[in-house]
Amino acid sequence: MDNLRYRTISFLSDYGTKDEFVGVVKSVIRTLSPDSTVIDISHEVKAHDIRAGGLALARSAQYLDPGVVLAVVDPGVGGARKGIAIEVNGGDYIFVGPDNGLLAPGVAMLGESSRAVELNNPEFHLPSLSSTFAGRDIFAPVSAHLCQGVPFEELGSPIPVHALQPGLLPVGGVDGEIATAEILWEDRFGNLQLNLSPEDISGLGESFSLRFGETVRRIQKVRTFEEIPNSEIGLIVDSSGLLSLSMYGRSASEELQLYEGQQIELTPITNETSSSSPVTLRKQR
C-alpha cells in the first residue's frame, strides 16, 4: 500500500446489486490497482436520480477517507455530458464521474475544486464497443490509475471549474415565524430529513404545527428518539446536522404519508397549555 498515491476509492452509484455492474467495476479496479480498497457508499440510489445521489454524497463527504470518490448516476451515459475528474483542495480528494451535477454537492462539503479535467484520454480507459457502461470502461480504470499515481492532468483536457455543472439543491427558509422546507431524504427507518437546520428555527420555541396538504399535526423538538412519545412525531437533529421528522421505533414517513420532495410548513406553537396529544385536522371541503 505504501506505493499508492491514493489507498481508497469510495464508490456510490445507482447500479443496484441485482446485476453484476458493481462487481465488474470493482474487478476492473482490482486488476489495475490491486492494493487500493473500494468502500461502497451505496449502490441503491434510485435509478437515474442525480439529486438523491448528490445528497447521499454530500451527507457522506466529511467522513470519507481521503482518496478517489467514484460516483455514477448517469442517465446520459455515452452522450453529450462529459466524464470528468475534479481535484478537491489541491488533491486531498479526486471526484470521478459524469458532469451532470452529481458530484458538486459532495465536493462543496469538502472544500474547493482546485482543478478539473474531461476524461478524454483513451490511454486510461478500457477499449469498448459500447457506450452504455462508462463506470466500467472509463471511470473505474481512471480511478485505479489515479490510485497508482497517474498525474491528474494526464487524464484529459482541462476544464475551468466554473464551467462544471452545479448541483442545485432546494433551500429551506424562515419567513417571519413560518419555516418552509422540503423533504430531502427519507431513510430506511422512515426518518424525514428537512432542508432546515436547528439554527433556522432557534428562537421559535419547542413546539410547532407541521402542515402539508390538508394535514396539521403538533410536533415537538427532542434530543433523542426515545424522548418522542408513542405515536407522536418528533423534530430531531439528525446525523447530518439537519432537522428531521421522526418517530420512536417507527416510520414517520409511513405514519404521515410524506415522502422525498414534498413541501412542509412549520409554525411555532406558543400556547403551551394546548393539548400535546397527536391530532390530525382536515379542512372541510
- In angstroms, the Cα distances linking 217 to 36, 94, 267 are 50, 45, 11
Q: Quick one: 189 or 259, whose CB is closer to a second copy?
A: 189
In the region spanning residues 125 to 144, those forming contacts with a second copy, defined by CB under 8 A, are 128-133, 136-137
Stretch that binds a second copy, among 54-62, 85-93, 111-119, 147-155 (CB under 8 A): 54-62
What x/- string results for residues 5 through 44 when contact with a second copy is judged by CB under 8 A?
--xx-x-x-xxxxxxxxxxx-xxx-xx--xx-x-xxxxxx
Q: Which of 68, 71, 72, 77 binds a second copy (CB under 8 A)?
A: 77
Q: Name the residue with cell 463527504.
A: 61
Task: Give min distance, CB of 195 to a second copy, in A.
Answer: 16
Return the range that interacts with a second copy (CB under 8 A); candidates 152-160, 172-180, 234-242, 270-278.
234-242
Q: Which is nearer to a second copy, 175 or 226 (CB)?
A: 226
Neighbours of 256 (CB within 10 A): 22
Strands 8-13 and 37-42: parallel
Residue 200 is a binding residue for a second copy (CB under 8 A): no
Min separation Cβ 234 and a second copy, Å? 11
Single residue of 226, 230, 272, 277 touching a second copy by CB under 8 A: 226
Nearer to a second copy, 240 or 262 (CB): 240
**Please, which residue, 47 or 279, has the CB nearer to a second copy?**
47
Q: Does 84 bind a second copy (CB under 8 A)?
A: no
Interface of this chain with a second copy, residues 237 to 256, rule: CB under 8 A: 237-241, 244, 246, 248-249
Torsion of CA 21, 23, 8, 11, to 10 degrees: 30
Report if residue 257 touches a second copy, rule: CB under 8 A.
no
Nearer to a second copy, 210 or 247 (CB): 247
Q: What angle do CA 95, 100, 103 make, to 5 degrees?
A: 25
Nearer to a second copy, 153 or 227 (CB): 227
Residues 144-183 that bind a second copy (CB under 8 A): none
| Closest to a second copy by CB, 64 or 181 | 64
